[in-house]
Amino acid sequence: MFQPGLKGVVAVQTAIASVDGDIGELRYRGQLVETVIRGRSFEETAYFLWYGQWPDDVQVENLQHQLLSYRKLPAHIVEMAQLLPKETSLMDASRTLVSAYTHSEFQTLPSAEQAVALTAALPVMTALFYRLQNGQQALSPRDDLGHTANYLWMITGQPPTNGQTQALETYLKLTMEHGMNASTFAARVTISTESDLVSAVVSALGTMKGPLHGGAPSGVIDLLDTIQTKDRINAVIADKLDRGEKIMGFGHRVYRTEDPRSIVLRKKCLELQGEDSWLDLAIAAESHIIKGLNARKPGRALYTNVEFYAAAIMRSIAMPTQLFTPTFSVARIIGWTAHALEQQDHNVIFRPQSEYIGT
């Protein structure tokens, strides 16, 4: 039976993650996401999604060592980044640089280590081209910084504060994986042809670029910029609702309750309350917005989605809007590669049917 967009069609059996939109649950490897990421680093959470078990101290150390070693980009990638037109979008640049990443040494690596290499390289490529694009000197990775902190360093040239690193790392861990979304499906389709992992990630990046999937939460930034101060919240929201405008950051295609990722991000923002005025504004605005939406649209049950607090966090760490979707990709590459590896283990090529409706 034809289903537009394959909505509701089960195309994959997976042990990586599950999304239950009716009750608002996201699970990594069977465990609630809020439990999985609590007290765990980016590296530990990535290992858990890739291998299905928590790493011991030696395995964490080995993974950290691998990620450090693969931060150094091959010379041809750096040269290519320098040759790309500066007006190239960051997602286009990332896709191009990843597509060229494969080389003889990389091809000899087992697939699981290729996933680690691509995970280490993608944020470095992103930061490299961002700085070149803006006429800034490219920075070398720092071996004394973890995955998240190094990404912030390479973008800004400033050592990030502990609060900034915590806020961004929470976002990255929460968005590593989200079931059979469009970019993950694209990665699995590509790898199912017995293509390589680089091609699977390139397919996923091309899919993530689309505004219906990886579109940056710039609308939430615009909303917070319009509100500016807590005393303006009610007036701004009332004006937007009077005009029939959509309030960005509320409602989700999958979740019929509150997005579980937004709950975790809200908790992190509350922990950091008082450290950043934008986080404080977002916390204050959320309850007023929910109240206004419920009054104007009874029965709609519009809840906060992950974009609302993600935007607040990005704004608080001064992340430029053009880096939002690339940063989303820096997180989601874990899910893409985990699914690609799972597809390789039990591969059947995707070959759906089409229904002819011509004359």
**Is pLDDT larger for residue 82 or for residue 225?**
82
Residue 348 buriedness (CB in 10 A; 0-12 / 13-18 / 19+): exposed
Torsion angle defined by CA atoms of residues 218, 251, 168 and 199, in that order, rounded to the nearest 10 degrees: -80
**Mean of the per-residue pLDDT values of the chain:** 91
Q: What is the Cα–Cα distance from 273 to 252, expressed in whole angstroms?
A: 26
Grade residue 90 by pLDDT with cuts at 50, 70 and 90: very high
User: 133-189, pLDDT tens digit by residue?
Assistant: 999 999 999 999 999 999 999 999 999 988 889 989 999 999 999 999 999 999 999
**Is pLDDT larger for residue 167 or for residue 118?**
118
Q: Out of 68-72, 106-110, 112-116, 267-271, pick the least confident.
A: 267-271
**What's the pLDDT at 315?**
82
Burial call 250-265: b when 16+ CB within 10 Å, e when fewer: bbbeebeebbbbbbbb
| Residue 189 and residue 347 in contact, taking contact as beta carbons nearer than 8 Å | no
- What are the Cα distances from residue 89, in Å, to 200, 304, 322? 20, 29, 8
Q: In what order do the strands lie in the sheet with 17-20?
A: 17-20, 25-28, 31-32
User: 97-112, pLDDT tens digit by residue?
Assistant: 999 998 888 999 999 9
Q: Which residue type is seen at 319?
A: M
Q: What percent of the chain shows pLDDT beyond 90? A: 62
Q: E strands of the chain, at which residues?
A: 17-20, 25-28, 31-32
Provide CB contacts within 8 A for 267, sequence distance 6+: none
Whether 216 shows a pLDDT value over 70: the answer reads no
**What's the pLDDT at 215?**
67
Closest to 250 in 3D by CA, of 306, 180, 196: 306
pTM: 0.91
User: 298-339, pLDDT tens digit by residue?
Assistant: 766 678 888 888 888 888 888 888 999 999 999 999 999 999
Whether 235 shows a pLDDT value over 80: the answer reads yes
Grade residue 296 by pLDDT with cuts at 50, 70 and 90: confident
Going along the chain from its start, the domains and CATH numbers come out as 18-209+330-345 (1.10.580.10), 218-316 (1.10.230.10)
Distance of CA 263 to the CA centre of its chain: 16
Catalogue the active-site residues: 252, 307
